[in-house]
Amino acid sequence: MKHILIVVFLFTTVQFSAQTDAENLKKIYSNSLTNGMSYQWLDHLSNQIGGRLSGSLNAEKAVQYTKEELEKLGLDKVWLQPVMVPRWVRGAPEFAYFETSPGVTTNVNICALGGSVATPTGGIKAKIIEVGSYTELKALGEDKIKGKIVFINRPMQADLINTFEAYGGCSVERYAGAAEAAKYGAVGTIVRSLNLRLDDYPHTGSMGYGDLPNSKRIPSAAISTNDAELLSGMIALNKNLNFFFSQNCKQLADVQSYNVIGEITGSEFPNEIIVVGGHLDSWDLGDGSHDDGAGVVQSMDVLRLLKESGIRPKRTIRAVLFMNEENGLRGGKKYAEVAKSKNEKHVFALESDSGGFSPRGFSFQCSEAMLAKIQSWRSLFKPYLIHSFEAGYSGADIGPLKDDNIVLAGLRPDSQRYFDHHHAANDTFEHVNKRELELGAASMTALVYLMDTYGTETISNEVELRD
């Protein structure tokens, strides 16, 4: 009889709390969809400020704006965390063409890759040679490449359902192609844009030269997918095709910038910290609405949504708007460094940096036991069509926080359209749907609420503690 009573008692408790959770999630989602601030904030970031490359005036405007907006929310603390960031500038617009016969030229759309050096003044003209991948490039060797421009034309793999996998499959071409080609004496690289769609936008993104000395560094640009197809066709017709490009980018001295941080201090365990974040910097071609204005305003709205839903978190919840994810990750590194130096205990960090599209779920870096605990909340998310709770990558900015105890997670929006816009001039506000953005903010808030309520301990951890 006693056993039965206990079972009934436990059952009632779980029932009650599941009801409260369901009610709180409903409040969170309803508030986001009817009174959400994320879209309005994004409108300002995108349309009043615009592209926010690290070290730019716009990046500093974004720091000030988001700090002021966080201050209006009546949080417990809002502050700026200083961080020195690199400053790369694009300079005068890039220009490129191929030459089918002397003086007969066709312009193509390119943009310098972030971190690239400029071409010599007046541009550079050379024979162009096409390779299908980084691996192919390495196999070609000096005699085939020396003195030429190397065109690395690797399309993203269209039949991968998760487009981030397709992106990952081609990112070495963009990041390391120039350094590799330079080893064999190439004079420049042109890389196919990481875009699954055929269109005219070149997509920038970071590249690096590794330990290549300055004198050996060669300029590298992305070409639009339409022009990559065109160029490939022309090379097939004429193995001696000349290609010209000119770009005027340069790396200036590092400048002072900031991570922007807002905090609701925990009511029971103020020393246990939950971070929710995105990155405030963006590339310069568009206005950075999806990458990562969306993540920034969603993270800000997590704090507001908790307050508006009458939820007083037990743990400290921080929205961290990281600076310089795109070309240095200085903000993410700085945040982790300061956290370590202050001996702060971070229990959970959630990043939104995959666009403001309809949320599908989350990916987690945590123990299997913790993942199972999170998956037990699945039914709470079902009314909101959040269905994917899998192990996987979380986010670049929160990566430096990784240790054995923290649970890391990434918001996983529908990924089909992301690379249509990523790092290109069409990453702009009109391509963000208000409801999709708001559903993302609500989903993040719901997960933060549940992690705060139930903590990151798992039964297997407890068993270990009792050993």
Active-site positions read 325
Is 144 or 417 the residue whose CB approaches a copy of itself more closely? Answer: 417
Among 414, 454, 455, 461, binds a copy of itself (CB under 8 A): 414
Q: Which does 292 bind (CB under 5 to 8 A by kind): Zn ion, a copy of itself, none?
A: Zn ion
Rule CB under 5 A: choose which of 291, 351, 397, 438 binds Zn ion.
Answer: 291
Applying CB under 8 A, the site for a copy of itself has a residue count of 26
Interaction of residue 287 with Zn ion, rule CB under 5 A: no
DSSP string for residues in 50-112: ----TTSHHHHHHHHHHHHHHHTTT-SEEEEEEEEEEEEE--SPPEEEEEEETTEEEEE-EEE
Could you say whether residue 284 binds Zn ion (CB under 5 A)? Answer: no
Q: How far is the CB of 69 from Zn ion (least distance, A)?
A: 20
The SS3 of residue 406 is coil
Q: Does 34 bind a copy of itself (CB under 8 A)?
A: yes
Region near a copy of itself per CB under 8 A, out of 6-14, 85-93, 157-165, 251-259: 157-165
Virtual torsion, Cα 112, 116, 118, 120, nearest 10 deg: -110
3-state secondary structure at position 284:
coil
Please tell me whether residue 421 binds a copy of itself under the rule CB under 8 A.
no
| The binder of a copy of itself chosen from 12, 16, 383, 457 (CB under 8 A) | 383
Cis preceding-peptide flag for 291 (omega within 30 of 0): no
Q: Which of a copy of itself, Zn ion, none has residue 87 at its interface (CB below 5 to 8 Å by kind)?
A: none
Query: 431, 430, 419: which is closest to 201 by C-alpha?
Result: 419
Could you tell me the smallest distance in angstroms from the CB atom of residue 205 to a copy of itself?
20
33 is a site residue for a copy of itself (CB under 8 A): yes
Is residue 262 within 8 A of residue 75, CB to CB? The reply is yes
434-454 and 294-308 helices, crossing angle to 10° = 60
**Residue 208 contacts residue 226 (beta carbons within 8 Å):** no
Provide the edge-to-edge strand list for the sheet that holds 345-351. 77-89, 250-264, 315-322, 269-279, 345-351, 407-413, 359-365, 388-391
Q: Which residues are CB-contacts of 345 (< 8 A; sequence separation ≥ 6)?
A: 271, 272, 273, 405
Q: Which does 161 bind (CB under 5 to 8 A by kind): Zn ion, a copy of itself, none?
A: a copy of itself
Contact partner at residue 196 from a copy of itself, Zn ion, none, CB < 5 to 8 Å by partner kind: a copy of itself
By CB under 5 A, is residue 397 in contact with Zn ion?
A: no
Closest CB 445 distance from a copy of itself, rounded Å: 14
The CB-of-301 to a copy of itself minimum distance in angstroms stands at 15
SS3 277: strand
Q: By CB under 8 A, tell whether 341 contacts a copy of itself.
A: no
Binding of residue 41 to a copy of itself (CB under 8 A): no
Amino acid at 190: I
Please give the distance of CA 139 from its chain centroid, rounded to a whole number: 32
| Binding track, positions 432-451, relative to a copy of itself; x by CB under 8 A | -xxxx--x------------
Residues in the site for Zn ion, rule: CB under 5 A?
A: 291-292, 353
